[in-house]
């Protein structure tokens, strides 16, 4: 089942292709015409070339310093949060109207030169024999002159050495000017000069434009793209018919960008230098004031170095406190010994080496202790009355009194020293109390001095850095590739244009054929009928008769028309097999839906074909309302015929049947006089009897009837027919009218219907287009087949 469906799809596809391939001359003409137009277009169209330049934008703010003026201001805290060196901003600057206007002014792009000598109006740019210099230009007046066409004028040499003729094409006005001299137009003053480079051009068209309009057009044309999101490499592109012009525009645009960046940077540097100088003057004055104040403060307070002096005072105070503690210790020791001597009457040992100053007292104490020890040693072996003991006791008592007096004098001396030390300590303490205040004042003054001095040094350093930055300013846009043009045109692209032309050449005939088929409601070929009905067979296709050709076949005719009718008669034989013959001839009707479909043409040629086979044939003109058989034999217009026979019983049938001039075996039984009541005449049984009589005498009775849809005449006599040939005409019969024939057969109004398609184009033959009917004939020329395909 799948194989069958696939086969059907292949057959349908092949049939669809055949429907278009049969019009191959259309496709051939379409492709040839479009390719010819494309070729002319490529020859006449001025090619546009792509010009490319690339630059790297230096990101100076990301370097963390440098010599740029921006760095100085950043260090000074004046540009915090205002750094906006994003690549999008730089692209915006490059595409700004201001930079493009500067570029147009620098290159004088508002003046355009065209060559009028060639087939194409090419732009000359620098390769022009004459160069116009704009001395003054009023753009408003130029815009007004543009509406009059006065912004363009041709320049050509008059024959004189210095004279040039200006011609304004729109108005036809002329003006003569001299080379190198001023001349006036309504919108400005100009000078025409000869190009120093020799250029062989006869006539040049000069067009003047306003600078803003030119700048706006190039702003739209220039494309600036970032090659990578993580880089600052920009690619500039411009399409132009003149390569050198596009290169100059991109290079000049980059130059203007760098120039403006340098000017901005220098302007900032100059302003920075001015600001630094002003601040240096102010800081210098403030620093002088602070230093004078510091000097006065030192003089008033007798200070050289407050920190050193303060340290000395503190050290002295510490020494005094230490000495006071030592004296108090000596005083305490001396007082303790005195108390001991006064309270203890016993002559015991005295403490020695307890820290008393003075060698005499310490020596006396040592002597005293020796005497006591000696006495005690003697007492161990003697009594208190021993003379030696008594002598030693006297010595001990005298020495004791001496020690006591010496200690009392020491105590008095120590008290005096202690009072002096305490007085000195109070004085030093007063000095120490004044030190913090002086130190604070000194530090305040010193701090101001340090701040002013540091700021002064900082400004001096920045002034030097700013001077270096101003002297060594580098371009912001580093050129990676200067502008260069590609050799392959951006437009038009020959391969694309030719390919498009080829496709359009195929598409136009295809669309024309498709739309024509889509809107066509007429039958064109046998498939149109076969899609509507399978119950009614198609027994023949009759070709279209070319202008000047005969529409009647002849004896031994080998034309396509004759072969078509031979096939038709052959198919008739298969359909007439089941007809009731009974030794009589066959009765065949030819009818159609409406008039003009060729039923009479079919009838007479069918009769001729049968007669050529040796059959006796008679044609009956049964269309009593609009007889057409007479147009094939003009001499028979006055003959009596069917209507006369049916009206008048006196007419013999033999007398009404006439010989034809076409073939001896073909007889004509014309319709005769046009009656007022055709339908009543055809209802008579006499018409059936007439047919029976004719069938006995002829092998074939061909009845040319009236159109069945317009009148009921054919329905009234249809029961007498063995076969009804229903003639349709290609390109004439509407498809919806075929339903009438189908309904007529289904309702029994007509029977044994067979379709014949008349006036079929050769291209639409079911088999004729592929194989041809004119077997054995000389093959038609290509031009003849081309004409027939339409």
Is residue 8 predicted with pLDDT exceeding 60? no
Q: Report the C-alpha gap between 460 and 644 in whole angstroms.
A: 138
Greatest CA separation for the chain: 231
pLDDT in tens, 692-716: 999 999 999 999 999 998 888 889 8
Mean pLDDT rounded to a whole number for the chain: 79
Do the Cβ atoms of 465 and 72 come closer than 8 Å?
yes
Is residue 397 predicted with pLDDT exceeding 50? yes
Mean pLDDT, rounded, for 327-341: 72
Least confident piece of the model among 108-122, 500-514, 659-673: 108-122
Is residue 394 predicted with pLDDT exceeding 70? yes
Query: How much is the pLDDT for 73?
Result: 46
Q: Report the C-alpha gap between 316 and 349 in whole angstroms.
A: 40
Higher pLDDT, 413 or 777: 413
Q: Report the C-alpha gap between 68 and 74 in whole angstroms.
A: 10
Taking residue 163's Cβ as centre, other Cβ atoms within 10 Å add up to 12
Please name the helix (run of DSSP H) or strand (run of DSSP E) that holds residue 198, with its range, or none. none
Higher pLDDT, 518 or 373: 518
Percent of the chain with pLDDT over 70: 78
Do the Cβ atoms of 586 and 579 come closer than 8 Å?
yes
> What helix, strand, coil percent values describe the chain, rounded to 5?
55, 15, 30
Question: Under CATH, what is the fold of the domain 526-788?
Answer: Rossmann fold (3.40.50)
- Quick one: three-class SS letters along 366-422? HHHHHHHHHHHHHHCCCCCCCHHHHHHHHHHHHHHHHHHHHHHHHHHHHHHHHHHHH
Beta strand pairing status for 753-760 and 48-57? unpaired
Q: Report the C-alpha gap between 637 and 657 in whole angstroms.
A: 13
Strands, sheet with 48-57, edge to edge from the N-terminal-most edge strand: 223-226, 233-240, 48-57, 477-491
Is residue 787 predicted with pLDDT exceeding 60? no
Mean pLDDT, rounded, for 739-767: 86
Higher pLDDT, 747 or 306: 747
Please name the helix (run of DSSP H) or strand (run of DSSP E) that holds residue 587, with its range, or none. strand 586-592
Choose among 708, 721, 709: nearest CA to 751: 721
Choose among 124, 118, 273, 128: nearest CA to 196: 128
Q: Report the C-alpha gap between 473 and 491 in whole angstroms.
A: 41
Structural tokens at position 770: 């592929």
Mean pLDDT, rounded, for 29-57: 91
pLDDT in tens, 591-634: 999 988 999 999 999 999 999 988 999 999 888 888 888 888 77
Structural tokens at position 148: 């009059």
| Confidence band of 214 (pLDDT split at 50, 70, 90) | very high
Verdict on whether the full-model pTM lies above 0.75: no
Structural tokens at position 125: 């740019």
Is residue 552 predicted with pLDDT exceeding 80? yes
Q: Where are the domains of the chain?
A: 2-45+492-519, 111-209, 306-426, 526-788
Give the CA angle between residues 364, 366, 369 to the nearest 5°: 110
Dihedral sign (CA 310, 315, 320, 325): positive
Q: Report the C-alpha gap between 725 and 605 in whole angstroms.
A: 13
What residues contact 243, with CB distance under 8 A and at least 6 apart? 49, 51, 485
Strands, sheet with 174-178, edge to edge from the N-terminal-most edge strand: 111-115, 203-208, 152-157, 163-167, 174-178
Residue with tokens 């630059």: 55
Query: How much is the pLDDT for 81?
Result: 35
Cα→Cα distances 647→115, 624, 629, 671, 720, Å: 90, 12, 20, 12, 20
Q: Report the C-alpha gap between 692 and 8 in whole angstroms.
A: 48
Backbone angles phi, psi at 470, to 5 degrees: -70, -30
Structural tokens at position 426: 């109070």
Taking residue 647's Cβ as centre, other Cβ atoms within 10 Å add up to 18
Residue with tokens 């005719």: 557
What residues contact 270, with CB distance under 8 A and at least 6 apart? 470
pLDDT in tens, 428-455: 666 555 555 556 566 666 666 667 677 7
| Confidence band of 157 (pLDDT split at 50, 70, 90) | confident
Cα→Cα distances 106→33, 224, 260, 457, 541, Å: 47, 21, 14, 45, 79
Q: Report the C-alpha gap between 127 and 243 in whole angstroms.
A: 12
Backbone angles phi, psi at 484, to 5 degrees: -140, 150
Least confident piece of the model among 146-150, 520-524, 714-718, 749-753: 146-150
Q: Report the C-alpha gap between 58 and 608 in whole angstroms.
A: 99
Query: How much is the pLDDT for 725?
Result: 94
How does DSSP assign 538-576, residue by residue? EEEEEEPPPTTS-SS--TT--SHHHHHHHHHHHHHHHHS
Query: How much is the pLDDT for 756?
Result: 93
| Confidence band of 462 (pLDDT split at 50, 70, 90) | confident
pLDDT in tens, 229-275: 788 889 999 999 899 999 999 999 999 998 888 877 776 667 677 77
pLDDT in tens, 63-78: 444 444 444 444 544 4
Is residue 32 predicted with pLDDT exceeding 90? yes
3-class SS of residue 288 = helix
Mean pLDDT, rounded, for 127-153: 84
Query: How much is the pLDDT for 616?
Result: 93
Query: How much is the pLDDT for 355?
Result: 57
pLDDT in tens, 505-515: 999 999 998 88
Cα→Cα distances 14→8, 20, 608, 755, 786, Å: 10, 10, 38, 25, 22
Query: How much is the pLDDT for 281?
Result: 75
Residue with tokens 């993580």: 230
What residues contact 163, with CB distance under 8 A and at least 6 apart? 157, 176, 177, 178, 179
Mean pLDDT, rounded, for 149-177: 83
Query: How much is the pLDDT for 425?
Result: 66
Structural tokens at position 10: 């292949």
Query: How much is the pLDDT for 457?
Result: 79
Half-sphere exposure of 518 (CA within 13 A, CB side): 6
Least confident piece of the model among 126-140, 148-162, 215-229, 686-700: 148-162
Choose among 367, 371, 375, 361: nearest CA to 403: 361
Residue spans of alpha helices (H) in 613-656: 642-647, 653-656
Q: Report the C-alpha gap between 335 and 352 in whole angstroms.
A: 14
Q: Report the C-alpha gap between 544 and 758 in whole angstroms.
A: 7
Cis bond upstream, residue 607 (ω within 30): no
């Amino acid at each position: 089942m799948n194989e069958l469906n696939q086969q059907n799809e292949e057959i349908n596809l092949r049939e669809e292709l055949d429907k278009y391939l049969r019009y191959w001359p259309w496709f051939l003409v379409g492709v040839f015409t479009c390719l010819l137009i494309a070729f002319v277009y490529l020859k006449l169209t001025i090619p546009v070339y792509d010009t490319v330049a690339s630059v790297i934008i230096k990101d100076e703010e990301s370097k963390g310093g440098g010599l740029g003026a921006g760095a100085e201001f950043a260090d000074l805290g004046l540009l915090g949060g205002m750094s906006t060196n994003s690549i999008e901003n730089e692209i915006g600057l490059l595409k700004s109207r201001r930079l493009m206007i500067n570029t147009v002014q620098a290159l004088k792009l508002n003046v355009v030169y065209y060559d009028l000598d060639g087939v194409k109006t090419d732009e000359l740019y620098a390769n022009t024999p004459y160069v116009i210099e704009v001395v003054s230009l009023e753009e408003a007046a130029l815009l007004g002159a543009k509406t009059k066409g006065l912004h363009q004028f041709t320049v050509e040499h008059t024959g004189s050495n210095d004279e040039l003729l200006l011609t304004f094409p729109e108005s036809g006005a002329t003006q003569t000017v001299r080379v190198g001299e001023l001349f006036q137009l309504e919108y400005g003053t100009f000078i025409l000069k000869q190009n120093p480079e020799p250029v062989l051009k006869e006539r040049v068209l000069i067009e003047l434009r306003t600078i803003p309009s030119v700048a706006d057009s190039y702003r739209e044309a220039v494309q600036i793209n970032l090659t990578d999101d993580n880089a600052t490499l920009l690619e500039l592109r411009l399409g132009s018919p003149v390569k050198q012009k596009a290169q100059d525009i991109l290079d000049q645009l980059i130059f203007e960008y760098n120039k403006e960046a340098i000017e901005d940077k220098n302007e900032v540097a100059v302003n920075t230098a001015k600001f630094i100088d002003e601040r240096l003057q102010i800081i210098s004055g403030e620093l002088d004031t602070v230093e004078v104040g510091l000097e006065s403060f030192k003089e008033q307070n007798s200070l050289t170095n407050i920190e050193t002096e303060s340290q000395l005072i503190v050290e002295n105070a510490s020494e005094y406190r230490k000495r006071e503690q030592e004296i108090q210790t000596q005083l305490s020791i001396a007082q303790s010994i005195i108390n001991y001597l006064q309270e203890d009457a016993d002559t015991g040992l005295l403490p020695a080496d307890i820290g008393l100053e003075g060698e005499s007292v310490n020596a006396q104490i040592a002597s005293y202790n020796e005497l006591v020890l000696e006495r005690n040693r003697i007492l161990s072996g003697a009594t208190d009355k021993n003379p030696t003991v008594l002598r030693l006791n006297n010595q001990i008592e005298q020495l004791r009194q001496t020690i006591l007096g010496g200690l009392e004098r020491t105590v008095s001396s120590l008290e005096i020293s202690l009072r002096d030390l305490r007085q000195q300590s109070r004085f030093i303490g007063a000095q120490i109390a004044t030190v913090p205040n002086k130190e604070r004042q000194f530090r305040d003054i010193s701090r101001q001095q340090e701040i002013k001095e540091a700021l002064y040094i900082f400004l001096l350093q920045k002034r030097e850095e700013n001077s270096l930055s101003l002297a060594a300013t580098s371009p912001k846009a580093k050129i990676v590739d200067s502008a260069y043009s590609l050799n392959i045109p951006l437009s038009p692209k020959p391969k694309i244009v030719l390919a498009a032309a080829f496709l359009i050449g195929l598409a136009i005939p295809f669309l024309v054929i498709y739309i024509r088929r889509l809107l066509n409601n007429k039958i064109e070929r046998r498939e149109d009928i076969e899609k509507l009905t399978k119950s009614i067979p198609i027994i023949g296709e009759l070709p279209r008769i070319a202008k000047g050709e005969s529409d009647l076949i002849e004896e031994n005719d080998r034309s396509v028309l004759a072969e078509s009718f031979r096939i038709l008669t052959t198919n008739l034989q298969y359909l007439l097999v089941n007809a009731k013959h009974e030794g009589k001839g066959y009765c065949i009707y030819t009818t159609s839906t409406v008039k003009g479909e060729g039923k009479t043409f079919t009838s007479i040629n069918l009769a001729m074909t049968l007669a050529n086979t040796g059959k006796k044939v008679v044609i009956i003109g049964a269309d009593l309302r609009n007889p057409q058989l007479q147009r094939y034999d003009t001499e028979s217009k006055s003959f009596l015929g069917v209507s006369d026979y049916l009206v008048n019983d006196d007419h013999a049938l033999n007398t009404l049947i006439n010989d034809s001039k076409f073939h001896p075996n073909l007889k004509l039984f014309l319709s005769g006089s046009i009656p007022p009541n055709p339908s009543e005449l055809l209802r008579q049984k006499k018409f059936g009897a007439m047919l029976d009589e004719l069938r006995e005498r002829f092998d074939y009775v061909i009845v040319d009837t009236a159109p069945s849809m317009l009148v009921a005449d054919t329905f009234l006599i249809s029961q007498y027919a063995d076969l009804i040939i229903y003639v349709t005409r290609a390109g004439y019969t509407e498809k919806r009218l075929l339903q009438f024939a189908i309904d007529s057969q289904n309702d029994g109004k007509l029977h044994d219907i067979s379709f014949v398609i008349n006036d079929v184009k050769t291209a639409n033959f079911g088999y004729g287009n592929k194989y041809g009917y004119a077997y054995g004939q000389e093959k038609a020329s290509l031009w003849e087949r081309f004409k027939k395909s339409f």
